[in-house]
């Protein structure tokens, strides 16, 4: 009986350790590009392309592609594809955000809201996850910020949140 209890404790500790390693802290060095808040969709794409090695000439092509607001997630993906990158819009779920980061992919999330009865989409690049503080670090073309896991889950995850995933071809 004592041996069975000890085995159960060891297996429990191992399963907890395996589960927490899945969410270990991870950080990607995504360059910060500062732009007006109204331009945060194209700016997020520019930051991710810069992370993948694109230069300022490519960034300027992204900036010129969007002269009108609002900018759709699908239009951002099409622009990245036209510049030679793979880009897809997906609804990945909260756990997938850390998976993207561990694979070296900074996802761009789309947060939908209403402002004065008008739908608005804000974009943010997820650049880091801190497992100890249970929070994500985001960049949106202005100061980098922090977003606790539960807040992002409430604002994005519970709303079948969309993400733009851009990778090299």
Max alpha carbon distance in the chain (Å)?
A: 72
Backbone φ, ψ for residue 138 (5° rounding): -130, 155
Domains of the chain: 25-168 (3.90.70.10)
Measured between alpha carbons, how far is 4 from 141 in angstroms, rounded to an integer?
Answer: 55
What are the phi and psi torsion angles at 75 (to 5°)? -70, -40
pLDDT in tens, 62-75: 878 887 777 889 99
Query: Is this model's pTM higher than 0.85 or not?
Result: no
Nearest to 151 by CA among 94, 92, 73, 105: 94
Cα–Cα distance between 94 and 103 in angstroms, integer? 15
8 band by pLDDT with thresholds 50, 70 and 90: very low
* Percent share of the chain, pLDDT over 70: 86
DSSP character at residue 121: E
């Amino acid at each position: 009986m004592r041996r069975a209890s000890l085995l159960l404790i060891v297996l429990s500790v191992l399963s907890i350790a395996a589960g927490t390693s899945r969410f270990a802290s991870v950080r990607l060095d995504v360059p910060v590009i500062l732009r007006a808040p109204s331009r945060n969709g194209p700016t997020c794409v520019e930051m991710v392309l810069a992370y993948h090695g694109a230069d300022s000439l490519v960034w300027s092509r992204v900036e010129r592609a969007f002269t009108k607001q609002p900018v759709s997630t699908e239009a951002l993906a099409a622009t990245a594809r036209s510049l030679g990158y793979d880009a897809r819009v997906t609804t990945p779920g909260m756990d997938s955000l850390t998976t993207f980061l561990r694979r070296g992919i900074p996802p761009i999330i789309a947060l939908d809201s209403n402002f004065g009865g008008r739908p608005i989409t804000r974009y943010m690049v997820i650049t880091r996850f801190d497992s100890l503080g249970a929070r994500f670090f985001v960049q949106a073309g202005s100061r980098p910020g922090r977003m606790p896991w539960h807040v992002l889950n409430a604002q994005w995850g519970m709303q079948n949140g969309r993400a733009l995933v851009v990778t090299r071809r």
